[in-house]
Structures are given as C-alpha cells and as structure tokens.
Amino acid sequence: MSDAYLELVNSGVTKTLAKKLGLPRPAHLRRTDPAAVDTPLIPGRAMVIGEGPDADAIARTLLGWDLDVHRNVPDGRIGAVVVVLTDLTRPEQASQRVLALGSVLRSLAPGGRVVTVSRAADPGDEPAVAAVRTGVDGLLRSIAKELRAGATGNGIVLGDQISPDAPSAVGALRFLLSARSAFVDGQFVHVNTADGVAPADWTRPLQGRVAVVTGAARGIGAEIARVLHRDGAQVLGVDVPAAGESLATVMNQVGGIALQLDITSGDAAARIIERATSRYGRIDIVVHNAGITRDKLLANMKPDHWDSVVAVNVEAQLRMNGAFLAADGLSPDGLRLVSLASTSGIAGNRGQTNYGFSKAAVIGMTRALAPRLADGAGTANAVAPGFIETEMTARIPALTRQVARRLNSLQQGGQPVDVAETIAFLASPQAGGINGEVLRVCGQNLVGQ
C-alpha cells in the first residue's frame, strides 16, 4: 500500500511547494535493506552524553560495534545521541545533559536517533529520585515530537540493579539505534532482568529457532514470516483455508511449512504442535498475529460482530497459550510469545468497541502471562501497532485514511515490516530480559499515552 502524499512532498516542484505552504512533510524512513551489505548501524557519528560507569559502559558497547564514538560535541553529522541519566537523583541535575543534547540536535542526521537510558521509578524511591526518573517520560516523549526528517527518540528504562551491559539493555540499544526501529518513536523499552544472551551473529539472531506465525498469508503476518526467516528462524505459517493459496506463496518464499486452520477451532494448538514438532522437534517463538475487525458503532453492534472479534483476537490466543505452556519439552530454551495488540486497545477508537476490547484484553493477558513465564521459561510481550499500511487499513474511507496517516510524529503510516522488525527483536535471544512489555509501533501516534 503506498502513500502518494509522502512521494509528492519528497519530489521536485511539489516538495518546494509543500515547504512554502508549511504542509506536513513526512520523510522517507531509514529501513533495513537486506540487499545492502555493510549498511552502517547509524547514519553518522555517535555521541554519548553523561558521566560515570554507566555512560562509560555504553560508550564501550558502541565502540564494540565499530561506531565513531564521541563524549564531546563532534564535528560533522551525528547519527545518534545516547543520553545516560541513570545516576541522577534530583530533577535539577538533569539540566546540563538535556541542554547538551539540545545543542547538538541541529546536527542530527536524517533518520538519526536519540536514545535516553534511565532507571525505572519505584514507589519506594525517595520522592526526588522518583521525580527525576519519571521526568524522563515527559522529556523523551517531547523530544520525539520535536525531531524531524525521520529521526526518532526512544528510551531504555533499566530495572533496579540492571547494568547497561545486560544482554537486553545492549539488545534494546542496538534495536533502537538501527533501521529496524524505523516506526518506533517516543517509546520506552523496559529491561527487567539480566536474562538473555547476545547473538553470535547480529544479522541472524534467530538462527536455529522455530517460529509459529498465525495469520501469515498476507499483511503484517506475511512480513513477520519473512523477517523471522531473514533473521535465521524456521517458520510455520498458519492461516484459514480460504487464504491457503497466499499462505502457500509466502511459505514457499521463506522455505517454511503452511498449515491451514482456523485458530478459533478447539484443536488449533494441538495441530500446530503436532506439525511443528514432527518437522522441527520444537517451538521457540509463537507470534499471535491473526486478527480481524468488524467495525460498528456499539448502537449498531450485532452479536456476531462482537463475538467473532473476541473469539479470533483474544480467546483463541488464550486457549492456544494454555496448550503451548502445558506441552512438555516444547521449548527447551524458553517460549517467546509475542501478541499483536493495537493502539485502539490503548486509546480506544470510535466504531471499534469490540476490537478495542479484544486488543486491550491481549495487553492484560500478556502482562499476566509474563510472570508465569519468567525464570527461564520464556517471555510474553505485545506489540501495539498504530496506523500500518495494509489491506485492513486500505478499507478505511480515503479522507479518514489520509488524516489517520498524519496523526503521528513521523506524519505517515508504518509499513508491515516495521511491526515485523519489532516482533523479531522481542523474540530474539538478546531480548530475554524484556517481559510483559507492550511496545508501540506507531510513529508516536498522537492518540493515547
């Protein structure tokens, strides 16, 4: 699905016109190009703002990735600024680092990155400590709204005692700096534990893993299958029999197995387990992507509109998770569950009471599963996409669609690959310390938190 406006404001005469008229000018985002080898992680120099052991550790990590790392303002284009705030104990201490960031923002390259690293606030904290830690929320979300030209701002929030060298802190930093996080903006990734391992090869972190993707015949699900395969995983794709032909096409592209079934059927999980284990002997990753909309104002809602959405979007996931968790020896290295939520489940959406309910329910389910999966048993996380260019959103009336696309800091819809990249990160070995997270892939949509 293409966005003609984005093309217009980035080419020739219409680009100049849009600039003169002060119209929104969404930029082409920096995305991973599998054909381009040696694409740099960031589009320029790296700068680390902050002092102390955490800032030193982060600078060492960046040097380990062969980046040109500076602790003071460098000459030339800056590809990323990492602002380390973990040691602050009072709001007044933030000033120097924040203003240092402000002084270099004009040198940030298109598609550049700002990443804050801070500590989670806890009700047991001293009020001044909680104040500065929580202050980072408002700071980062405001910075992200000020950035232009496809640059993004995101934060990593470390739990108590978690070092910036923890695998998931390093993994999150790499993800947020890279082109993989193109449509993740104004968000925080919480690292709760020191679990996880750095992959032997950052370009194939899912090597040797077996992944199940539901709704893999088209849209976001097809792209998830492709990205997981690109990252090294073997994929079993599931979709309804009516989508069998497209599912076969996608699975042929990724050398995976196609399984035609309706996830609402009672034996869905048993059939998935049987096919995956007879072929690959295990399941490491389950991506609950299949989902439907049946939009109606509540006043016009028929029982079938409500029930079908709840059945596919959440009841099927609950039932299948029960079976996956009960299956002995299914996931020797821990099960990685990633569910598709939606910003409609966070902020609500007119005409989507059924969908909003189901997607908020997915968030509740994910948070409750997380502690049950901890201690080596795996992780449960959710991704909440905003407006993504798919057949689902192509059905939205043209004018509403144009408006919906612009209502985020990046002023455009995301692509299915943006959601897929985030899911691949949450399913990766380096994300083992991220559990119970709901990560939005919405370009910092202006609705909701």
Catalytic residues: 355
**Residue 9 is encoded by which pair of tokens?**
């404001």
Cα–Cα separations (whole angstroms), residue 142 to 48, 114, 149: 20, 12, 16
By CB under 6 A, tell whether 393 contacts ligand NAD: yes
- Beta-carbon-side half-sphere exposure of residue 159 (alpha carbons within 13 Å): 12
Cα–Cα separations (whole angstroms), residue 103 to 81, 161, 267, 436: 11, 31, 59, 36
Give the residue with the Cβ less far from ligand NAD, 126 or 267: 267
**Residues contacting ligand NAD: total by CB under 6 A:** 28
3-class SS of residue 447: coil
Binding ligand NAD by CB under 6 A: which of 385, 433, 436, 443?
Answer: 385
3-class SS of residue 256: coil
In whole angstroms, how close is the CB of 292 to ligand NAD at the nearest point?
A: 5
By CB under 6 A, tell whether 391 contacts ligand NAD: yes
List residues bridging with 414 in a β-sheet.
388
Cα–Cα separations (whole angstroms), residue 342 to 7, 54, 101, 363: 27, 34, 32, 9
Binding ligand NAD by CB under 6 A: which of 292, 301, 310, 323?
Answer: 292
Give the footprint of ligand NAD on residues 323-382 (CB under 6 A).
Answer: 340, 342
User: Which x/- pattern over 305-324 shows residues binding ligand NAD (rule: CB under 6 A)?
Assistant: -------x------------
By CB under 6 A, tell whether 157 contacts ligand NAD: no
Give the footprint of ligand NAD on residues 420-439 (CB under 6 A).
Answer: none
Closest CA to 49 of 120, 151, 117, 144: 117
By CB under 6 A, tell whether 239 contacts ligand NAD: yes
By CB under 6 A, tell whether 220 contacts ligand NAD: yes
Give the residue with the Cβ less far from ligand NAD, 46 or 287: 287
Closest CA to 155 of 126, 129, 181: 181
Give the residue with the Cβ less far from ligand NAD, 4 or 37: 4
By CB under 6 A, tell whether 116 contacts ligand NAD: no
Phi and psi based region of residue 382 (left: phi greater than 0; alpha: psi -120 to 50; beta: remaining): beta
By CB under 6 A, tell whether 130 contacts ligand NAD: no
Give residue 398's identity as a one-letter amino acid code: A
Binding ligand NAD by CB under 6 A: which of 116, 390, 408, 445?
Answer: 390
Q: Where along the sequence are the contacts to ligand NAD (CB under 6 A)?
A: 214-215, 217-221, 238-240, 243, 262-264, 289-292, 312, 340, 342, 385, 387-388, 390-393
